[in-house]
Structure 1
């Protein structure tokens, strides 16, 4: 059985009970034999440079947050790794429960071969205009959450740490948070700065492009246009993402798409 098929099959098995599995065995056996004949049809994993890093990343990224929030699943992580996936994204326990701690053993085993991303959100509204004092508080929160993530992951260093759910362009451009990232980088805690954006994504990316600070961005967008996370729908009169291309070319940025 190919590793890709194992990945899909194991994902399906998670939701099946024992009686269902017993009935399904002949079907799996028949399906496996068909798969053997089609093995050569599967494409190999493609790789590309990840954002403004020099890491050669798999075109598929494993989102570990929700998948591992309640329990470990090293077997599925291994299947993904064997299939060529080498970028793993997770997030703070404040949102994703035990996801970071549940992948700690897998990360320890494969640390030299993967790009590890975690993230946390700031306790700020999308319209807040932070004072210097407030910005320093948000920067300190970012650092504390990063340290907590490292503790949960049982690591001393994470490749990238994001501001999660970035939705305020003023905060995206705030120097206090970026300075805290630079201090964390100097301390050997993190290498790259990034953000994920689900709300006001076009405005957030435009703000990020102005700064030249961000190495990576995960974006809530669909083929139909920009995605409104609150309404769970595409924004009306959604402008094409290509409109931001000149700004990112000027800043020498690339954007990693986020799934919605």
Structure 2
């Protein structure tokens, strides 16, 4: 795992987008795992502006709310269409999200796992981190070997997502269908992006604290190819931040990104 500190949100977002763009240009048929959230909107805007092709790319989103139809403006498929899919040359048949409207959510989770396997597995998975420490919607006490399944959302998560529902946390669905922690860890590369002071405590717990199911994001410590991109605010509680800065400024692989570090 690498911690990659950036001076501000704009450069953290730009670095994340450039990493994804580089992988797409190097491997046009990339299998790309996608995430949602306010910060990801900026990542997708960068990717759209870059002009990189998604024509041969296959995507798998981390999660979808249970009970929201695809045409609901708050569904994650609507989010993805609005912020990315409608603006790039992706084949809609290659853009995959969990089916939160499925009558049998257990079967839907198994089918999603099968689709990922049929695609050859995920090459690069983009991640955010929730204030409860979740990746995807893997709320506290999610098994670290869990697979795609439905999960009840914490009040913290529903409150964090209330902005997309007119500020009313009670309007946020109570459940979501999400990739499991084990599913995420199977990806060949992880890039987690965190920005803002509200994420500082949970970022520190995830990357410098103990490995624990209480903080599902702590599982990324076990991944051999994981980058955690943070702005100054999100990095504020990291104890070894000076070392992380030293590494990123001295590793040759970051030479093409010096303007963002």
* TM-score for both structures, normalised by structure 1: 0.32
Which structure: larger Rg?
1
* TM-score for both structures, normalised by structure 2: 0.32
Larger RCO (CA under 8 A, 6+ residues apart): 2
